[in-house]
Structure 1
Amino acid sequence: MIKSIKVRLLPTKEQEELMFKSVGIARFTYNWGLNKWGELYEEGSKPSKSAIKKEFNNTVKKSQEYKWLYEVSAQITSQAFSDLDTAFKKFFKKESGYPKFKSKKKSRKSFYVRYDAIKFEDNRVNLEKIGKVKYKTNHIIPGLPKYNNPRCHFDGKYWYLTLGFEQGEKQTELNNDLSIGIDLGIKSLAVLSCLDKPIKNINKSYEVRRLNKKLKRLQRQVSRKYEMNKVDSKFVKTNNIIKLEKEIKLIYRRLANIRSNHIHQATNRIVKLKPYRVVMEDLNISGMMKNKHLSKAIAEQCLYEFIRQMKYKCKFNGIEFVQADKWYASSKTCSSCGAIKKDLKLSDRTYICTDCGLSIDRDLNAAINLSKYKLVS
């Protein structure tokens, strides 16, 4: 399987300037290709990656107006068309919506790096047209002639290089008697069938609540400043507004890092128990997000990311990963006698079986049922 790592880059001012240019050219090329795709479709012809790329090289790149395209690696523009082609393939397979234009303000600041030019030596990594950039990481980077999908991105504060490489499965001895059922929730992130204490909800911690409170205060300040500097029907962006918006972005970055770190620690803790199998529910997260009262709490829990990490970490460690059928009544079924309680409400946090008298936490009962999923299905 392919394992990916992230390396923190420490570029000079000149190198950082070239990186931002690379980001802008990648965005410009993608938007140009998307616009051309739409034009060709309206004309009645069949758009394709090769035709659009050929026209870009013959018209735009040869024009003196766009000579700044040659300041960065040619692989950046080439990969932008590959990304656009992938976006349309996903759209036609109904895996995602129609591709959108990338905004300078909102889109992710990233660009492709030529894989065969990457060389790690003396705490520096060579990037085409940018030069040898200092880096620091805790990972052991294998010296390979080829890396998978290397990309540079800027998160609002630091630059990172992400790359992938082939990695075999870990040969670990698994506990053949341990099957773990995981019930995801909002009150707590996850309840495990083999643990008494659930994995906590990080959004209820002091640090996250403090950051959310600060975020709310700064957003109100920005809103007031926009209203104060309004000219007719237009909003004027002052230097103070720019400073506040930058501070808001950094708080969002901090919150995202805290949640991501918590999920990595939680999934790593589960894998270290060395079960032979992990069973989870097949949640309809997009459907859950339609609940206007719970959508914010569900989004902050990052449930999809938790499931994604569990899948690849189980695969990497040779653990069987099973997703139970979405109609499987894990909460309504008694984990002791198997009786189904049809009148169970969402407000009932304790499961009391009328047949055998079992009294157990609702989420723990669901987790135990999931751990035995294959046996009862």
Structure 2
Amino acid sequence: MILAKKVRLYPTKEQEQKLWQSVGTARFIYNYTLAKQEENYKNGGKFISDGIIRKELTQLKKSELLWLNEVSNNVTKQAVKDACNAYKRFFKSLANRPKFKSKKKSNHSFYNDSIKLKVKEKKVLIEKVGWIKTNEQIPICKYNNPRITHDNKYWYISVGIEVNKKQEKLTDISLGIDLGLKDLAICSDGKVFKNINKTKKVKNLEKKLRQKQRQISRKYEMNKTKKEGGRRCQFIKTKNIEKLEETTRLIHRKLSNIRNNYLHQITTSIVKTKPYRIVIEDLNVIGMMKNKHLSNSVRKQCFHKFRQYITYKSELNGIELIVANRFYPSSKTCSQCGSIKKNLKLKDRIYRCPHCGAIIDRDLNAAINLSMYKLA
């Protein structure tokens, strides 16, 4: 099993400049490849293989794109491969249509060749950048897919490392987990993991973020000027606006880290109970996001990440993970008599069974039903 190891980098100013250059190159080549594929498809041509595009770029390096020689050749190679794979996945209906990467919104990352990646005591060698200090020692072994990323504050290197699965004694408990908005996760054993977005710390950060965004909006309005002979306005970006935008990026980063850390804590504590199987529901998150009243709350809960973390942690610990059918009526079924209450509404937080008279919390009832999913 391959697990990711993420280590922080401490580059010098010169090295940081080279890292940003590699990030910009990866984005440019990705967009160039995507534009080639789009144009070719509109003209009725077949899919262009990554080898043909790489040959074109090799010729362009000698004439028009001389600056590509300042960056590692593996950055351009992998960017072409990533764009071609994204385009293939779209036509196989495995992913959405690939979009062009924006300088502001896209993730800042690039690929480093695993063969040319060298490691010694708290240092790592990145091609055409040099030896960079790290906060901890990276284990010396065979690496998979090394990526250098920037999270709006620090630089990191992520590598995939082969890890052996744990062989632990599991209990005879089948654990059902119901995900929701009131509480993040409700387990069939009675454990409730609260919604971290309702805590004071997160609410204060979100309030601060809204204030900073309003300040940016007001400053843009103050600095806008009309173009000569036209109705369109031109917005002038000042140093104060740049500082405020940097502050908002750091708040976004902090909120993301808080939610991510909470998900790791929850999934680890669930796996530590050592059930022989875990049952979760297959949520239609895209459909839930269409509800304008709930879309923001659904986005903040990060249901996809929860499923991602519980999946790999279950596999690592030898626990069977079962994803219940999307149309399985876990909330409408009575966990005591098995009858289905068809007229159950979203606002009904207490489940009252009309047949056996059972009264139970709606989410706990769903979690118990999931724990019994496909059991004889």
TM class, shorter-chain normalised? over 0.9
TM-aligned CA deviation for residue 48 of structure 1: 2.1
**8 Å CA contact 1:37, 1:52 repeated in 2:** no
Q: Does 1:136 align with 2:119?
A: no
Q: Does 1:373 align with 2:373?
A: yes
Unaligned residue ranges in structure 1 (runs of 5+): none
**8 Å CA contact 2:22, 2:110 repeated in 1:** yes
Q: Does 1:154 align with 2:150?
A: yes
Q: TM-score, normalised by structure 2?
A: 0.95
Q: Does 1:205 align with 2:216?
A: no
CA deviation string 1:107-158 (max 9, x = no partner): 1110101111222212111111111111114xx74311x3111100101100
Q: Give matches, 1:174-193, under 5 Å.
A: 174-175=170-171, 177-193=172-188
Task: Kindly tell me the number of residue pairs found equivalent between the two proteins.
Answer: 369
Structure 1 residues 112 and 203, CA gap change in structure 2 (3 angstroms): same
Q: Could you say which residue in structure 2 is the equivalent of 1:39?
A: 39
Q: TM-score, normalised by structure 1?
A: 0.95
Structure-2 separation of matches of 1:44 and 1:54: 22
Unaligned residue ranges in structure 2 (runs of 5+): 227-232
Q: Could you say which residue in structure 2 is the equivalent of 1:163?
A: 159
Q: Tell me the SS of whatever aligns to 1:293.
A: coil
**8 Å CA contact 2:61, 2:67 repeated in 1:** no
Structure-2 separation of matches of 1:104 and 1:304: 25
CA deviation string 1:169-198 (max 9, x = no partner): 1111111x2111000000000000013x41
Structure-2 separation of matches of 1:49 and 1:7: 31
Q: CA RMSD in A?
A: 1.3
Q: Could you say which residue in structure 2 is the equivalent of 1:121?
A: 120
Structure-2 separation of matches of 1:201 and 1:346: 18
Structure-2 separation of matches of 1:254 and 1:75: 32
Alignment-mate amino acid for residue 129 of structure 2: I
Structure-1 separation of matches of 2:32 and 2:251: 33
CA deviation string 1:318-339 (max 9, x = no partner): 1000011111111111111212
**8 Å CA contact 1:276, 1:319 repeated in 2:** yes
CA deviation string 1:323-362 (max 9, x = no partner): 1111111111111121222222211111122222221111
**8 Å CA contact 1:120, 1:126 repeated in 2:** yes
Structure-2 separation of matches of 1:269 and 1:245: 37
Structure-2 separation of matches of 1:49 and 1:117: 22
**8 Å CA contact 2:276, 2:319 repeated in 1:** yes
Percent identity reads 55
Structure-1 separation of matches of 2:293 and 2:249: 25
CA deviation string 1:236-261 (max 9, x = no partner): 11110000001001000000000000
Structure-2 separation of matches of 1:217 and 1:274: 45
- More displaced 10-residue stretch of structure 1: 242-251 or 27-36: 27-36
Structure-2 separation of matches of 1:284 and 1:38: 30
TM-aligned CA deviation for residue 289 of structure 1: 0.6
TM-aligned CA deviation for residue 43 of structure 1: 4.1
CA deviation string 1:211-266 (max 9, x = no partner): 00001101110000000000011111111000000100100000000000000100
